[in-house]
């Protein structure tokens, strides 16, 4: 998909029986796409995919730079954390889940290099224990303002099962290698959204219908590509020349303040009602 025009340039259809099973479809589809680009003299700078092992090996063999899509990575981690949070000693994980998810996206989109991604990623283990300074010079301190916490139950405590499990999941050798290759750009998840406001349908040929095509609407997943698009707009177009955007901004309808939609009762009436309520109570005692 060409992300600026949101057009899918070419779709390579691969049928599972053509390539010896669905396991080989991703690799084979990729192989055909790259060949197509190459025969049209289009150079591939890098490619963003999920962490499919076969694709990894294939791209390494073809010397194509690969980055990983943060949405796929986050989805996998979230599922595991959610499952963990149901265990007896791990309930704290549930409260922290939104923060951890945010952190994953923030690491990917705010970092310029692999080591920076790694340092920010691992800082989370300190942060959840109320420790906000870190040994790694790439990220020596949390980016949030420091607050003194008075509630120790909010944080993970050293030596607990919950902390051990979170650490084991987020700080293991394989994952740390992959974190450094997280894509900081557009996410492939936008491919699973809509095209120009029209709902996308996925056509499948299920075996139980003897190959008769069936169309299913593709559900829109949360996408974060709009964040980089907005930032691009603000920094490269709005900031250098804000005047151009003034009229447009003024034409945005801003709804009235919620309170303004109610009829105002004069203040004296409110006070009077309050006093009479009091005097009624007082009268009874």
CA distance 185 to 23: 27
**Pairing mode, if any, of strands 201-204 and 214-217?**
antiparallel
Q: Write down the least CB distance from residue 202 to Zn ion, Å.
A: 41
Q: Which of residues 141-200 bind Zn ion (CB under 5 A)?
A: 142
Mark the segment that binds Zn ion (CB under 5 A) among 13-21, 93-101, 108-116, 129-137.
Answer: 129-137
Q: What letter would DSSP give residue 217? A: E
Q: Write down the least CB distance from residue 70 to Zn ion, Å.
A: 20
Mark the segment that binds Zn ion (CB under 5 A) among 95-103, 130-138, 202-210, 273-281.
Answer: 130-138
Q: Which is nearer to Zn ion, 61 or 145 (CB)?
A: 145
Q: Which is nearer to Zn ion, 55 or 124 (CB)?
A: 124
Question: Binding to Zn ion by residue 127, rule CB under 5 A?
Answer: yes
| Count of C-beta atoms within a 10 Å radius of residue 207 | 7
Q: Which is nearer to Zn ion, 120 or 127 (CB)?
A: 127
Mark the segment that binds Zn ion (CB under 5 A) among 65-73, 123-131, 202-210, 223-231.
Answer: 123-131
Q: Write out the two tokens for 117.
A: 């991604």
Q: Which is nearer to Zn ion, 51 or 132 (CB)?
A: 132
Q: Write down the least CB distance from residue 116 to Zn ion, Å.
A: 16
The count of residues interacting with Zn ion (CB under 5 A) is 3
Q: Which is nearer to Zn ion, 62 or 132 (CB)?
A: 132
Q: Which residue is nearest to Zn ion (CB)?
A: 142
Asked whether 46 and 64 are in contact (CB, 8 A), the reply is: yes
| Count of C-beta atoms within a 10 Å radius of residue 270 | 11
List of E strands, the chain = 47-49, 66-68, 201-204, 214-217
Q: Write down the least CB distance from residue 142 to Zn ion, Å.
A: 3
Q: Is the dihedral of CA 157, 80, 115, 191 positive or negative?
A: negative
CA distance 144 to 141: 9
CA distance 38 to 10: 13
Question: What does the binding site for Zn ion look like in residue numbers (CB under 5 A)?
Answer: 127, 132, 142
């Amino acid at each position: 998909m060409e992300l600026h025009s949101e057009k899918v340039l070419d779709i390579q259809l691969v049928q599972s029986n053509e390539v010896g099973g669905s396991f080989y479809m991703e690799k084979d589809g990729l192989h055909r796409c790259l060949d197509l680009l190459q025969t049209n003299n289009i150079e591939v700078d890098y490619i963003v995919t999920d962490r499919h092992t076969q694709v990894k090996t294939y791209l390494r063999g073809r010397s194509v730079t690969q980055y990983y899509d943060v949405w796929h990575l986050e989805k996998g981690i979230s599922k595991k954390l959610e499952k963990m949070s149901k265990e007896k000693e791990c309930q704290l994980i549930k409260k922290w889940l939104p923060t951890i998810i945010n952190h994953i996206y923030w690491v990917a989109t705010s970092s310029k290099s692999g080591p920076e991604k790694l340092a920010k990623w691992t800082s989370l283990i300190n942060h959840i224990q109320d420790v906000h300074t870190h040994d790694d010079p790439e990220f020596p301190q949390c980016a949030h303002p420091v607050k003194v916490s008075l509630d120790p139950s909010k944080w993970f405590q050293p030596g607990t099962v919950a902390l051990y499990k979170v650490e084991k999941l987020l700080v293991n050798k394989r994952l740390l290698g992959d974190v450094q290759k997280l894509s900081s750009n557009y996410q492939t998840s936008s491919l699973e959204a809509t095209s120009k406001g029209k709902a996308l349908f996925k056509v499948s040929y299920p075996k139980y219908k003897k190959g008769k095509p069936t169309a299913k609407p593709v559900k829109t997943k949360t996408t974060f590509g709009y964040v980089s698009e907005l930032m691009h707009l603000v920094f490269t177009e709005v900031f250098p020349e804000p005047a151009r955007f003034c009229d447009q901004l003024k034409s945005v309808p801003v709804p009235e303040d919620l309170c303004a939609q109610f009829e105002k009762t004069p203040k004296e009436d409110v006070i009077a009602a309050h006093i009479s309520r009091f005097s009624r109570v007082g009268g009874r005692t």
